[in-house]
Amino acid sequence: MIYDNVSRRYHRVRSFARTALPLGLAAAVTAAGLVALSGTASAASTLGASAAERGRYFGAAVAANHLGEADYANALHTEFNMATPENEMKWDATEPSQGSFNFGNADRIVSDARGRGNRVRGHTLVWHSQLPGWVSGLSASALSSAMNNHITQLMTHYRGQIYAWDVVNEAFQDGGSGARRSSPFQDRLGNGFIEQAFRTARSVDPNAKLCYNDYNTDGQNAKSNAVFAMVQDFKNRGVPIDCVGFQSHFNSASPVPSDYQQNLQRFANLGVDVQITELDIEGSGTAQANSYTRVVNACLAVSRCAGITVWGVTDKYSWRASGTPLVLDGNYNKKPAYTAVLTALNNGTTPPPSSTTPPPPPPPGGCTVSYQETQRWPDRYNGQVTVRAGSTAITGWTTTVTITRPQQISATWNGNPTWDSSGNVMTMRNNSSNGNLAAGASTSFGFTVMMNGNSTAVPRLGSCSAS
Ligand code: 9MR
């Protein structure tokens, strides 16, 4: 089921100019002078809140040593609802000498986030980089045990507190080989270390999502093909994996790939969530903003894209500070990139991931609407809107469906449509037989949309008003 734009308010339907159009003529309607009754699509004012309305999260990499800076903490707490420790959970930070664990800085980030009801991504359990020196001196069997123990200690310490773990990070080589990267794990344990890490992780915290995370896998290329083959193999053989992280570090030499969305989608089609885990885009102004928009829209268009994390709160502390790659500048001012992200999130109305909780029930007398695409052809698709009464019966309902040009509604059924002057906003009211709904009961109406060359836009629903 696909949920969209649930009204959390309710109001009586006011009288309005009602122009019922014969079915089949809807595509031709652009008549001026009709009363526009667009639904009040919500416009959240922070990145986290807006993403949440789309069933997603919007997170940031967090550095423990900046939490004491008021501006930093304020920006973090205002805008973001997911946190990834930028360095504090890495092996050199958590197990600097073998068997001696240090969680202080990571704990600070976890308790800061969870104290506000925010979630945490764990980063990262097995990675070739930032390894303490002692790891490289181990034999194969000692390394195998050390890896299992490291995973076990971290995941036990944080059991129940981590939304998703980057279990293995950056295990593939860049370039066209599709080979695994040389590392102590790869060189001594062979390809099987990745599977071993995921199996160990599942056994320690079965409720955390287990991710493979990498960079330069954001479009379709030899490296992402190799990761794809591994994930496919894991799914086929029942090796536990729940998500793939796409780091998405972009700059002029490595821009947002043209097939970014398709690449996310092909991984999602394997039956894993996809997450944008370390987003930053070097640049400034409109060009940077446009790239951010593309990334957000791609995530919103992929129902299994669970959310986006930017790799830092402010340009001031970015690992690529000179490239000003984030959405808040060094003084915590909102950049055009910030506005672009918020706008894209607020405009987005795509299905939240399947794991998302359904919307809360409407108040007495209210109704909710949800959208689902039911069929698609090369040139058009059918959409269905389910209208559900709240905890008391209603005698009529109305909602709006907004179409993105050049898409156009060519037919409707099970409702009385009227149109705004642009022809883009259809107000749909019950017909004579489906206005009366008992408490909790539902009905639906449908429509056909001609895509006219735009195959990605999704109809946006306004709120539902009951009478
Ligand atoms: O942002 C991190 C930076 O502070 C560290 O010095 C660096 C050490 O390797 O790691 C950076 O984060 C990396 C992340 O952990 C994995 N993907 C690439 C990130 C940027 O280098």
Residue nearest (by alpha carbon) to ligand 1 atom 19: 278
Instruction: Write the residue with the smallest CA distance to atom 3 of ligand 1.
Output: 319
User: How would residue 355 be classed by pLDDT, with cut points 50, 70 and 90?
Assistant: very low
Q: Which atom of ligand 1 is nearest to the CA of 130?
A: 9
* pLDDT on residue 363: 65
Give residue 17's pLDDT. Answer: 31
Task: Output the CA 88–ligand 1 centroid distance in Å.
Answer: 11
Using CA atoms, how far apart are residues 209 and 201, in angstroms rounded to an integer?
A: 10
CA distances in angstroms from 325 to 80, 187, 260, 344, listed in the order given: 17, 34, 18, 18
For the cut 60, the answer to whether the pLDDT of residue 359 exceeds it is: no
Ligand 1 center–CA 64 separation, angstroms: 14
Angle between helices 285-301 and 336-347 (to 10 degrees): 30
Indicate which atom in ligand 1 lies nearest the CA of residue 129.
9
pLDDT above 50 for 1: no
How many whole angstroms from 93 Cα to the centroid of ligand 1?
A: 13
pLDDT at position 377: 72
Calpha distance 418→118 (Å, rounded) = 42
Segment 120-125 mean pLDDT: 98
Express as a percent the part of the chain with pLDDT over 70.
Answer: 88
Residue nearest to atom 4 of ligand 1 (CA): 319
pLDDT at 436 over 90: yes
**Nearest residue by C-alpha to atom 13 in ligand 1:** 86
Atom of ligand 1 nearest to the CA of 90: 15
What's the mean pLDDT in 251-265? 97
Band the pLDDT of 365: cuts 50, 70, 90.
confident
* The pLDDT of residue 414: 83
pLDDT confidence of 328, banded at 50, 70, 90? very high
The three-point CA angle 245-247-249 to 5° equals 170
Residue 350 has pLDDT above 90, yes or no: no
Pocket test for ligand 1, best of 89, 319, 320, 326 (most atoms within 8 A of CB): 319
pLDDT at 360: 53
| pLDDT(462) > 60 | yes
Q: Are 227 and 172 in contact (CB under 8 A)?
A: yes
Reported confidence tier of residue 349, pLDDT bands at 50, 70, 90: low
Catalytic residues: 170, 278
Residues 6+ apart with CB under 8 A from 239: 195, 198, 199, 233
> Which protein residues touch ligand 1 with a CB less than 6 Å away?
86-87, 129-130, 215, 247, 278, 319
Instruction: Check pLDDT > 90 for residue 319.
Output: yes
Segment 252-260 shows an average pLDDT of 97
Calculate how far, in angstroms, residue 316's C-alpha sits from the geometric centre of ligand 1.
Answer: 15
